Structure 1
């Protein structure tokens, strides 16, 4: 799906020299620093091999419908691009088709906005058939809105779909129809994926294994923590969106025979709505978890703003409502903090029952996290008297693995158990 590895059909080759431009709206971003926004935009571009040769922020007094920026700012952007010999302009905002067209004409650069850039990253990183379908659906949704532009411009458009052809309104309408048809086919395939995932979740819920899902801002250290806890070798680099396709592995949790840890795609501020919709099937895994661990890069200057962005995405998935899985915060990257700040944050975490401070890189605090997960999974547990046939080995094993068996005695061919179970596990047991 990525077009940045292509030098033909108007695409942009990897290594293309790019200028990063970040618009700052008056009164915007109280939580997030402008410097951090500039750095993140550059990081997104570098994540797919773009050579960032310049970066600049502009304060917008008002948004111009035709170009986003003011006339003088557009001229300055063009001059900066020429001075840096940049052929690509990356705008850290969502651009309308008209704004994108105007900026390309005025700056003589190819232009990509934040949504398009994130879609490109996802297109390059998708490794599974499901991931590629989800990214293609998001790409098509994004491209569908770009077909209103004049055809001369459309012939240079990024996207590389083979059905984009000659000039004329008839061709645009034909392309719209082809895009709609392809999107409908992908949605049908993803619906089948969703049904299959649902069946797998039902099987897991009948098995005596809780599921713990890792969520968090991109590059917060989820995959490093995943590898530390499971001895896996999931890609974990200092790179935005290093993980795209979800991964599940067994993990040892005190008091449980086994548990499942799930590593998910990282979130980011202003995550394109096309991607949230396309990845809903994958993110439903989070909604079905027994516990959600929100991993935060506590050493990042914008950690609070990143946490707010993650919470906003979780809310769109219905995970901020009553009945959603319980959540804990994991304050990661303690090893990057100066001693005084590290001591202060560690003390604060210990005073709260929903926070664990650790370093996934060094392993400090990971054992505390395992204990905290066990405590949270057992929280709200109630004692139940259960009578089973002595030959009902699977359900007896289920209770021993998922609950805390306080007492057990046989009465003829009947087995009586006093077992402590969480409300969720008791409901699962009743469904067995």
Structure 2
């Protein structure tokens, strides 16, 4: 696919913090790159509120018309949500495809969803977004052909009435319900086997997938693009004591996520609620690091996952002056996710935090019951195992989850 030429338009409101505004604009540019587009020009206008009819002032609009013509612009993208009317009016005036930030994010999700559930979620979010903006957009949206902002639901369908879209949305919701139920069953099975669960969360592009791959030695998608991972991915990770835990990578969080998407991706993020420990990965070199942290904490709170213990991982240590760094969260680690030694440090720290949550045990396993040792090794953090010749058995000590089924065996051998 040819790289499309994109023009960005943004309005700086009086009440907007300037640094925050420009960060949001850089993020929009990164989103365009992720959607395989190239930002040719960015137009910023200062005005207290967006123009009701065109989003941008009419004088600026004339300037934009010229740029669109001179530079062969194919797509115009605004940094805020447009109303159906604004979008339509701009399109008529400029004669090119006009979308807003939310549509761009939806479009990236449409291109990147891999699983059946992910694809259904995106389709539902796109329809939710389009429905209130549908009037008069049929002809424009029905143009077949690719390009930024046109992926996803079959374009020709959009010429049909709202009823058709509502029926399709109901159908998707029904199908999603089935997928969610299947996932609940799968989670139930996982709970029965009771592996300790660790979820990796963070702002998009903080390095979550790189860390996930290094910790599990897998090769899930790693790209320097926003939203590289959309569908939750779970793999086993072995800790220094040989305890196996389940590690789950999640979709990246982002500011100003379209409301339609937050609702649609809730169930994808609900994996986080099942976690026993959260690894919150932060790009330590991001200019807006504090805002990223706040966005993640706010979303964790909305998911009712803010009571789960968190280990904060400041990633990309190699990109900053470490001496000037002041952490805002504890416990924390400062790492580079591509450094082998740092990965060992993360595993040790995870193990240390698990031990703080679990209960200490010590006991004696007679030789004739030695087969139970493998199970104890698998589900506990076994710190010591020594053979006592005089007693014909093994002294064991370590840490165990007091709610795990293995407690039955531990109690049998436990020294009071």
1:60 corresponds to which of 47, 70, 85: 47
- Counterpart in 2 of 1:354? 331
- Counterpart in 2 of 1:344? 324
Once the two structures are TM-superposed, the CA of residue 360 in structure 1 deviates from its matched residue by 0.8
- Counterpart in 2 of 1:9? none
Once the two structures are TM-superposed, the CA of residue 43 in structure 1 deviates from its matched residue by 1.4
Q: What is the SS of the residue equivalent to 1:33? A: helix
- Counterpart in 2 of 1:264? 250
Contact 2:142 / 2:155 at 8 angstroms: preserved in 1? Answer: no
Contact 2:241 / 2:383 at 8 angstroms: preserved in 1? Answer: no
Contact 1:38 / 1:57 at 8 angstroms: preserved in 2? Answer: no
Once the two structures are TM-superposed, the CA of residue 199 in structure 1 deviates from its matched residue by 1.9
- Counterpart in 1 of 2:342? 365
Structure 2 residue runs of 5 or longer lacking an equivalent are: 145-149, 388-393, 409-416
Once the two structures are TM-superposed, the CA of residue 161 in structure 1 deviates from its matched residue by 3.2
- Does structure 1 residue 79 correspond to structure 2 residue 66? yes
Once the two structures are TM-superposed, the CA of residue 83 in structure 1 deviates from its matched residue by 3.2
Once the two structures are TM-superposed, the CA of residue 377 in structure 1 deviates from its matched residue by 1.7
Q: Distance in 2 between matches of 1:276 and 1:353?
A: 28
- Does structure 1 residue 327 correspond to structure 2 residue 310? yes
- Counterpart in 1 of 2:15? 27
Contact 2:376 / 2:406 at 8 angstroms: preserved in 1? Answer: no
Q: Distance in 2 between matches of 1:17 and 1:279?
A: 30
Once the two structures are TM-superposed, the CA of residue 327 in structure 1 deviates from its matched residue by 1.2
Q: Distance in 1 between matches of 2:378 and 2:386?
A: 10
Contact 1:223 / 1:263 at 8 angstroms: preserved in 2? Answer: yes
Once the two structures are TM-superposed, the CA of residue 129 in structure 1 deviates from its matched residue by 1.5
Q: Identify if the C-alpha distance between structure 1 residues 41 and 396 changes in structure 2 by more than 3 Å, giving closer, same or farther.
A: same
Q: Distance in 2 between matches of 1:194 and 1:70?
A: 46
Q: Distance in 1 between matches of 2:17 and 2:297?
A: 16
- Counterpart in 2 of 1:376? 353
Contact 1:295 / 1:330 at 8 angstroms: preserved in 2? Answer: yes
Contact 1:332 / 1:358 at 8 angstroms: preserved in 2? Answer: yes
- Counterpart in 2 of 1:401? 379
Q: Distance in 1 between matches of 2:371 and 2:166?
A: 52
Q: What is the SS of the residue equivalent to 2:82? A: coil
Q: Distance in 2 between matches of 1:182 and 1:296?
A: 38
Q: Distance in 2 between matches of 1:202 and 1:160?
A: 36
Q: Deviations over 1:55-93 (max 9, x none)?
A: 222223123332222222333332332332212101111
Q: Deviations over 1:357-415 (max 9, x none)?
A: 00012345222211111121222434579999x98978992586235588999xxxxx9
- Does structure 1 residue 162 correspond to structure 2 residue 162? no
Q: What is the SS of the residue equivalent to 1:426? A: coil
- Counterpart in 1 of 2:179? 193
- Counterpart in 2 of 1:17? 5
Residues 23-172 of structure 1 correspond to what in structure 2 (within 5 A)? 23-29=11-17, 32-149=19-136, 155=142, 158=150, 160-165=154-159, 171-172=160-161
Residues 245-260 of structure 1 correspond to what in structure 2 (within 5 A)? 245-260=231-246
Once the two structures are TM-superposed, the CA of residue 285 in structure 1 deviates from its matched residue by 0.7
Q: Distance in 2 between matches of 1:97 and 1:327?
A: 41
Q: Deviations over 1:148-167 (max 9, x none)?
A: 336555655945433234xx
Q: Distance in 2 between matches of 1:91 and 1:293?
A: 34
Once the two structures are TM-superposed, the CA of residue 418 in structure 1 deviates from its matched residue by 8.0
Q: Deviations over 1:78-110 (max 9, x none)?
A: 233233221210111111111111221223321
- Does structure 1 residue 233 correspond to structure 2 residue 214? no
Q: TM-score, normalised by structure 2?
A: 0.84
- Counterpart in 2 of 1:286? 272
Q: TM-score, normalised by structure 1?
A: 0.81
Contact 1:210 / 1:260 at 8 angstroms: preserved in 2? Answer: yes
1:202 corresponds to which of 151, 163, 188: 188
Contact 2:243 / 2:379 at 8 angstroms: preserved in 1? Answer: yes
Contact 2:115 / 2:231 at 8 angstroms: preserved in 1? Answer: yes
- Counterpart in 2 of 1:8? none
Q: Identify if the C-alpha distance between structure 1 residues 402 and 279 changes in structure 2 by more than 3 Å, giving closer, same or farther.
A: farther
2:229 corresponds to which of 239, 243, 252: 243
Contact 2:11 / 2:50 at 8 angstroms: preserved in 1? Answer: no
Q: What is the SS of the residue equivalent to 1:90? A: strand
1:220 corresponds to which of 182, 188, 206: 206
- Counterpart in 2 of 1:412? none
- Counterpart in 2 of 1:295? 281
Contact 1:22 / 1:37 at 8 angstroms: preserved in 2? Answer: no
- Counterpart in 1 of 2:147? none
